Amino acid sequence: MNQRILLTSQFPDISGDFVITEHLQKLIDRALSYLKAGFPVHFQGPSGTGKTALAFYLARRLDRPVMPIHGDSELDSGDIVGGPSGYSHTLYIDNFVHSVLKRKEEWERQWIVGRLTMACREGMTLVYDEFTRSHPEVNNVLLSVLEEGVLQLPGVKAGEKYVRVHPGFRAIFTSNPEEYAGVYKSQDALRDRMITIELGQMDLETEIRITARRSGLAEDQATVVVNVVRNFAGAFPGFTSTQRRSIMIAKLVREQALSFDSPLFQEVCLDVLGSEVTRKNGNPVPREVLEKKMAAVIAGVLSPEGRQEDEPSYRGFRFGGFIK
């Protein structure tokens, strides 16, 4: 029991700080209905789209202990299922009769219980984050867990060859697209056992509210940041902005009290986004091209023409109010 508490308390309950919009609520309702019906849910999408946060939020909503596993190329089946780990030695000495000395030695193979095994036995909610970063053969053990409700335990002492999966056990998976570096192609048989929900870029309202909540900026200020990031990304084919980049810039705006029309704000945006443009394009983009495009994007967002009629002007706006 103490081990379970230790493992599940590594991740704080984020449910009270989780942004809920109409777009997200519909997605959450669908995913919860699948999980409550016993189907594993798989969130797939680019990095920075909030897959992990959503997975742990849903896990907490199921009101069961949460067991995390993070995909890694170094993982093997023993890491998630468990396995033998040396021997325990017990020595008995019987000297009840003074003139007779009896000695008895026992050696017993030790077994370390893996996280998947514990989750299956106790009916936890498994959150397997970035599961495609583990080698596909490592995840083969999940096939019988998700289909037959049985976990095979290789190398266990006689009489304990498998574990019946607890009826309360649920599983949530996340993964990046297969073209990402360090990602392996998962087995079709495993994908067939889960319901995959594709996560792309969040809708504008959700992204603004998440950026504001995570950075501490007011929502009108977060709106400027998100629009700058989205418009800059849209200027380069193949480059999609992520929630994470908006949050990074928003935090820097807040920490440094940046004015949106200052040269430093433009430099911060370029530092956060510029290298990503080159990486996604595959070819270097000259700095002067990035600077020119960023200046045009910021000017467009701050200009009256780039705003709705009921939105205030953001020119000269810094954290805490307008510049006098």
- Give a yes or no: residue 295 inside a domain: yes
E strand or H helix that includes residue 191: helix 188-191
What is the C-alpha to C-alpha distance for residues 34 and 49, in angstroms, rounded to an integer? 21
87-106 average pLDDT score: 64
> What range does the domain containing 293 cover?
204-322
Task: Report the pLDDT value the prediction gives residue 319, as an integer from 0 to 100.
Answer: 41
208-217 average pLDDT score: 92
Task: Among 141-150, 158-167, 268-277, name the one with the lowest average pLDDT.
Answer: 158-167
Same domain, 215 and 76: no
- Tell me whether residue 123 is exposed, middle or buried, using C-beta atoms within 10 angstroms of its C-beta: 0 to 12, 13 to 18, 19 or more: middle
Categorize the per-residue pLDDT at 158 as very low, low, confident or very high, splitting at 50, 70 and 90.
Answer: very low
190-202 average pLDDT score: 91
Q: Say if residues 199 and 50 touch (Cβ distance below 8 Å).
A: yes
Same domain, 234 and 134: no
- Give a yes or no: residue 276 inside a domain: yes
17-32 pLDDT per residue, tens? 688 888 889 999 999 9
43-77 pLDDT per residue, tens? 998 887 889 999 999 999 999 999 999 999 988 88
110-129 pLDDT per residue, tens? 667 789 999 999 999 999 99
203-232 average pLDDT score: 93
- Give a yes or no: residue 215 inside a domain: yes
Amino acid at 146: L
Categorize the per-residue pLDDT at 192 as very low, low, confident or very high, splitting at 50, 70 and 90.
Answer: very high
Same domain, 232 and 185: no
- Give a yes or no: residue 219 inside a domain: yes
162-187 average pLDDT score: 89
Domain count, the chain: 2
Last residue of a domain, one of 164, 180, 198: 198
Same domain, 15 and 141: yes
Between 237 and 91, the higher pLDDT residue = 237
- Give a yes or no: residue 22 inside a domain: yes
The percentage of the chain sitting over the pLDDT mark of 70, rounded to a whole number, equals 77
User: What is the DSSP code string of 26-90?
Assistant: HHHHHHHHHHHTT--EEEE--TTSSHHHHHHHHHHHTTS-EEEEE--TT--HHHHHEEEEEEEEE
Same domain, 51 and 194: yes
Same domain, 150 and 12: yes
Categorize the per-residue pLDDT at 282 as very low, low, confident or very high, splitting at 50, 70 and 90.
Answer: low
Same domain, 134 and 215: no
150-171 average pLDDT score: 80
Task: Report the pLDDT value the prediction gives residue 30, as an integer from 0 to 100.
Answer: 96
Please give the mean pLDDT across all residues of the chain. Answer: 82
Q: Say if residues 19 and 210 touch (Cβ distance below 8 Å).
A: yes
Same domain, 137 and 61: yes
Same domain, 148 and 74: yes
Cα–Cα distance list, 207 to 89, 229, 233, 236 (Å): 58, 11, 15, 20
Last residue of a domain, one of 148, 167, 198: 198
Categorize the per-residue pLDDT at 272 as very low, low, confident or very high, splitting at 50, 70 and 90.
Answer: very high
Does 166 score more than 80 pLDDT? Answer: yes
What is the C-alpha to C-alpha distance for residues 61 and 18, in angstroms, rounded to an integer? 12
Task: Report the pLDDT value the prediction gives residue 280, as an integer from 0 to 100.
Answer: 67
70-93 pLDDT per residue, tens? 999 988 887 888 765 655 556 666
Same domain, 130 and 211: no
**Three-state DSSP class for residue 237:** coil
Task: Report the pLDDT value the prediction gives residue 92, as an integer from 0 to 100.
Answer: 65
Between 249 and 303, the higher pLDDT residue = 249
Token representation of residue 310: 């009921």
Phi, psi of 234 (to 5 degrees): -70, -15
Between 53 and 15, the higher pLDDT residue = 53
Angle between helices 22-36 and 51-61 (to 10 degrees): 60
**Tell me, what CATH number does 41's domain have?**
3.40.50.300
Last residue of a domain, one of 198, 214, 238: 198
Does 175 score more than 80 pLDDT? Answer: yes
Q: Say if residues 35 and 205 touch (Cβ distance below 8 Å).
A: no
